[in-house]
Structure 1
Amino acid sequence: MGKNQHVTPHPGGGFQVKGAGNSRATKIFETQREAIAYGREIAKNQQSELLIHNRKGQIRERNSYGNDPFPPKD
């Protein structure tokens, strides 16, 4: 399982995709929509989670693309 990917506001403007524990952004985007699409592809490839943060830095959405320890019950 790879690193979880975080979509967060970038200090210089726009949004960034950043691997958990990394000090630098993987890539910077103008819109959050672009950053989410890119982060989702990385999370799918690495079978990890995508965590989307709002402008205040709080997690607003979380998607798992790997081995989910708490799968939904039908």
Structure 2
Amino acid sequence: MPVGFKALADRYDIALAQPLRVESEIGTARLSRESDGNVENRYSQLEDEDMAERVVEAVRSAFEDREMGTGRE
């Protein structure tokens, strides 16, 4: 299962050589599980409804771009 550097550092009690550049606003309380090679991530509900709507729209847009082959990488 692919994981981020922070998850690896926490799991193996390793000090990072340099601080992580991004602190996630939406992913601070994520629950991940793997089943049949698929990873399912669940995030806590955002209290700020405007922020929640912007996040949902950004994710939808990213998937639409990917399906159309116009994703930005």
TM-score (norm 2): 0.28
Structure having greater relative contact order (Cα 8 Å, sep ≥ 6):
1
Higher alpha-carbon Rg? 2
Higher helix share: 2
**Greater per-residue strand proportion:** 1
